[in-house]
């Protein structure tokens, strides 16, 4: 035995070592890869930031250059207005050119013919003869005209040259300056994207690569500029689909990460042999430590098992051999461990139990009854269920059997996201036969409900099955309903059961006395009628068995429907939960019985309808998705009978909010927004339209309201859309919670 144990112990230890090594290797490999991806993304982020900063600086320099050009052009126009005679002096024009630090000066007459120019060869030139100069002709009729053209290449040297012009002040005409935008050209050369990636390195041999249209524009850390992206297996389709990829450059394998920036791809690559350096060192240490640890465990376990387990087993077997030979007075006395002590006591107790057959039989019967009760309870669903998603209802149930096992049962099932099936039933008789018949009937009806059949068809098919198997001649009374969560529509049927009690939101109540059919199991050809009604928000329906209404006190009086209804009327449904309501009803029955023995099972199931379910739509935060949002709102608003004017107001408000989110919530990356629409009946009829996004925190309600009395050209840009939203909605609430912007718009509906 010892050798067998040691053999298997070695197998288990070796397996555990191999598994530990495999898990450690997998975890370290995965962690190394994640760390490498994070490092690459960090460097990509630095490159993206550098690109963005460079573009902004270049833009500012261009704006400053253009502004200075207009200042110089206007200064030249002022010189001409104050001293028209300088147009006849080339020396004075040259002085003004040097003063303004420009390369060319041009002045035209009212027809657009240059009458004064530096260089002199342009004098007499008609500005309408070329597209570039013709762009300034509007200055002849617009005194406020000002234009700075984009730099263009000019001359034999193909150097960049730029023109700026304004209208003459003294008379119709054009004043134009020309200059080499050296500062702008230098800034453009410094901001060339080809110079960006060279300053970034990832690890020792990794690099940042910037590409466009399948070709590398810039790279750093290694010479990748001559490698075509397709040849390097880094093409745009792969980047768009994977973002994280593996590729070979030359004979070396790289891990790559790609991110989009405008019309460029920023790619970071890192050699895999660098990525796994830390993993290899950690795994090597783990192998050495694990070998030592598992060897020590093997030795210690083998010694302890021999002394504590195997020797004890030999002693127990010796005593058991005497007991099996008929010596029932033999006692097992192995107490060196708690386990052997328990085993010894168990064996001794078993031997003692053999001496008392009557006591053993009684204990077995009691255990079987408790087991039967446990089986019955386990076959019922949770009495206080918590559904995994938000649903517009709450449900509670309770069952109190008259004996250890009973014949009552309840059941419910969320068939799909819009339909809830529920029922209460009572099997004739009591005890184990009724409990077995109950389990069979419950399973049968539950399976039929899963098929999505209406209540009357479930009863009809279930009745045929029960009758075919009903050798004991038992029957079942039942009340069943299917609630449509989106509308409150309740389809129900009654098979000889007590009518449920309907509690209205205003505190009134009534029994749902729909025409009952015959009990299930009574007649195979029985027909059952379906009925339909609509539950309103806040209404509750109480299903029960006759153990409630037929409970008796010592005087022989029944609890009855009237007393049950009165008990429910004494409770404020808005302040009492369903569970509390069922507890109080059970307590009322117990108090009424006043110590009299419970004659029948008492089973209750309560359902509260809280209103229509919330409708949700999640869209990319992109203005192109606006038609999907409009279609979602129009479909649900029309379905709920919202007037046309309110539909238009809600559509306008939704458009303004969604466009704001799409344009400003995610300035550097793509994102999503979730729109929820809910129709509430309590505490008043209203529509809640809610927008959630994970963008930058921004409260639109804090934006100052625009002065609508100002002329349109004097109003500041922005703010009018939010102003319209607040004007058309009855309430607007904003909160920032769990890193989400949450804007809730409320529109009150007219009372019916």
For every residue of 181-223, which 3-state class applies, written as one string?
CHHHHHHHHHCCHHHCHHHCEECCCEEEEEEECCEEEEECCCC
- CA–CA distance, 324 with 332 (Å, rounded to integer): 13
Tokens linked to 221: 């850390």
- C-alpha 570, offset from chain centre: 42
- C-alpha 563, offset from chain centre: 48
> Cβ(681)–Cβ(536) under 8 Å?
yes
- CA–CA distance, 136 with 127 (Å, rounded to integer): 8
pLDDT (0 to 100) of residue 196: 67
Do 602 and 722 sit in the same domain of this protein?
A: no
- Backbone phi, psi, residue 656, to 5°: -60, -45
CATH code for the domain in which residue 687 is found:
3.30.565.10
In a domain, 642, yes or no: yes
Cis peptide preceding 452, ω within 30 of 0: no
Do 404 and 519 sit in the same domain of this protein?
A: yes
In a domain, 500, yes or no: yes
Do 605 and 638 sit in the same domain of this protein?
A: no
In a domain, 598, yes or no: yes
pLDDT (0 to 100) of residue 358: 47
Number of domains the chain contains:
3
Do 481 and 605 sit in the same domain of this protein?
A: yes
In a domain, 443, yes or no: yes
Do 588 and 623 sit in the same domain of this protein?
A: no
Residue 417 CB contacts under 8 Å (≥ 6 apart), including other chains: 389, 485, 613
pLDDT tens for each residue of 723-748: 888 889 999 999 998 899 999 999 99
How many angstroms separate the first and last alpha carbons of the chain?
A: 85
Tokens linked to 688: 């809640």
Do 544 and 397 sit in the same domain of this protein?
A: yes
Domain stop point among 562, 588, 609 = 609
| CA-to-CA dists, residue 75 to 17, 83, 197, 289, angstroms | 86, 12, 43, 83
pLDDT (0 to 100) of residue 230: 43
Do 466 and 592 sit in the same domain of this protein?
A: yes
pLDDT tens for each residue of 79-96: 888 888 888 888 888 888
E strands, 331-428, where?
A: 393-400, 408-416, 419-427
Do 446 and 537 sit in the same domain of this protein?
A: yes
pLDDT (0 to 100) of residue 223: 54
Which runs of consecutive H residues, i.e. helices, occur in 431-559? 431-450, 455-469, 546-549
In a domain, 156, yes or no: no
Residues in the chain predicted with pLDDT less than 50, given as ranges, are 226, 230-231, 358, 712, 714
How many Cβ atoms from other residues are within 10 Å of residue 485's Cβ? 20
Do 466 and 330 sit in the same domain of this protein?
A: no
In a domain, 124, yes or no: no
pLDDT (0 to 100) of residue 470: 83
In a domain, 143, yes or no: no
CATH code for the domain in which residue 407 is found:
3.60.40.10
Do 574 and 643 sit in the same domain of this protein?
A: no
Reported as type and span, the H/E element at residue 321 is helix 311-324
Do 639 and 605 sit in the same domain of this protein?
A: no
Domain stop point among 563, 578, 609 = 609
pLDDT (0 to 100) of residue 45: 85
pLDDT (0 to 100) of residue 195: 65
In a domain, 601, yes or no: yes
Domain holding 735, by residue range, is: 615-748
**Three-class SS of residue 426?**
strand
Do 401 and 547 sit in the same domain of this protein?
A: yes
Domain stop point among 555, 588, 609 = 609
């Amino acid at each position: 035995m010892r050798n067998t144990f040691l053999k298997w112990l070695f197998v288990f230890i070796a397996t555990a070592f191999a598994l530990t090594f495999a898990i450690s290797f997998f975890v370290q490999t995965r962690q190394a890869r994640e760390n490498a991806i994070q490092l690459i993304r960090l460097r990509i982020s630095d490159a993206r930031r550098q690109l963005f900063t460079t573009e902004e600086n270049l833009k500012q320099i261009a704006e400053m250059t253009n502004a200075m050009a207009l200042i110089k052009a206007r200064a030249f126009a002022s010189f001409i207005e104050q001293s028209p005679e300088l147009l006849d002096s080339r020396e004075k024009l040259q002085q003004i050119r040097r003063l303004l630090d420009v390369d060319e000066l041009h002045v035209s007459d009212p027809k657009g013919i240059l009458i004064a120019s530096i260089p002199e060869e342009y004098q007499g030139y008609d500005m309408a003869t070329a597209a570039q100069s013709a762009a300034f002709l509007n200055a002849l009729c617009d005194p406020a005209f000002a234009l700075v053209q984009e730099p263009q290449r000019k001359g034999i040297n193909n150097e960049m040259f730029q023109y700026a012009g304004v209208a003459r002040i003294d008379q119709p005409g054009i004043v134009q300056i020309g200059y080499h935008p050296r500062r702008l050209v230098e800034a453009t050369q410094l901001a060339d994207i080809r110079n960006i990636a060279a300053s970034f390195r990832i690890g020792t041999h990794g690099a940042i690569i910037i590409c466009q249209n399948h070709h590398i524009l810039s790279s750093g850390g290694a010479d990748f500029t001559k490698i075509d992206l397709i040849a390097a297996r880094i093409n745009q389709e792969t980047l768009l689909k994977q973002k994280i990829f593996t590729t070979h450059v030359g004979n070396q394998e790289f891990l790559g990460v790609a991110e989009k920036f405008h019309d460029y791809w920023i790619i970071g690559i890192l050699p895999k042999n660098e990525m796994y350096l830390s993993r290899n060192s950690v795994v090597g240490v783990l192998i050495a430590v694990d070998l030592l640890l598992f060897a020590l465990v093997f030795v210690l376990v083998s010694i302890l098992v021999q002394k504590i387990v195997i020797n004890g087993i030999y002693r127990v077997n010796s005593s058991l051999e005497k007991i099996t030979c008929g010596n029932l007075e033999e006692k097992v006395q192995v107490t060196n461990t708690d386990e052997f002590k328990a085993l010894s006591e168990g064996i001794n107790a078993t031997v003692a139990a053999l001496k008392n057959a009557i006591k053993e039989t009684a204990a077995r019967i009691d255990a079987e009854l408790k087991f039967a009760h446990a089986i019955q309870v386990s076959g019922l669903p949770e009495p206080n269920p918590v559904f995994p998603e938000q649903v517009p209802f709450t449900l509670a149930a309770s069952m109190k059997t008259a004996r250890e096992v009973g014949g009552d049962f309840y059941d419910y099932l969320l068939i799909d996201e819009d339909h809830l099936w529920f029922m209460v039933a009572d099997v004739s008789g009591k005890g184990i036969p009724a409990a077995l018949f109950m389990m069979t009937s419950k399973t049968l009806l539950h399976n039929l409900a899963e098929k999505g059949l209406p209540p009357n068809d479930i009863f009809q098919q279930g009745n045929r099955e029960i009758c075919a198997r009903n050798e004991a001649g038992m029957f079942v009374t039942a009340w069943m309903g299917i609630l449509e969560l989106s509308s409150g529509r309740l389809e129900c049927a009654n098979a000889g059961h007590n009518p449920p009690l309907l509690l209205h939101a205003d505190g009134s109540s009534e029994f749902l006395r729909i025409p009952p059919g015959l009990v299930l199991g009574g007649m195979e050809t029985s027909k059952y009628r379906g009925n339909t009604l609509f539950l309103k928000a806040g209404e509750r329906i109480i299903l029960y068995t006759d153990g409630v209404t037929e409970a008796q006190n010592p005087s022989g009086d029944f609890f009855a429907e009237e007393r049950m209804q009165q008990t429910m009327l004494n409770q404020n449904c808005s302040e009492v939960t369903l569970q509390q309501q069922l507890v109080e009803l059970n307590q009322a029955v117990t108090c009424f019985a006043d110590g009299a023995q419970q004659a029948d099972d008492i089973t209750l199931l309560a359902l509260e309808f809280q209103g229509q379910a919330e409708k949700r739509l999640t869209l990319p935060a992109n203005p192109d998705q606006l038609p999907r949002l409009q279609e979602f709102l129009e479909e649900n608003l029309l379905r709920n009978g919202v007037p046309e004017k309110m539909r238009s107001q809600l559509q306008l408000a939704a458009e303004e909010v969604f466009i704001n989110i799409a344009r400003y919530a995610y300035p550097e990356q793509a994102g999503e927004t979730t729109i929820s629409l809910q129709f509430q009946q309590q505490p008043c009829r209203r529509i809640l339209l809610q927008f959630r996004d994970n963008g930058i925190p921004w409260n639109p309600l804090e934006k100052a309201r625009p002065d609508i009395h100002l002329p349109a050209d004097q109003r500041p840009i922005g703010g009018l859309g939010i102003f319209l939203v607040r004007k058309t909605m009855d309430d607007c609430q904003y909160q920032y919670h769990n890193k989400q912007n949450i804007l809730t718009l409320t529109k009150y509906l007219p009372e019916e």
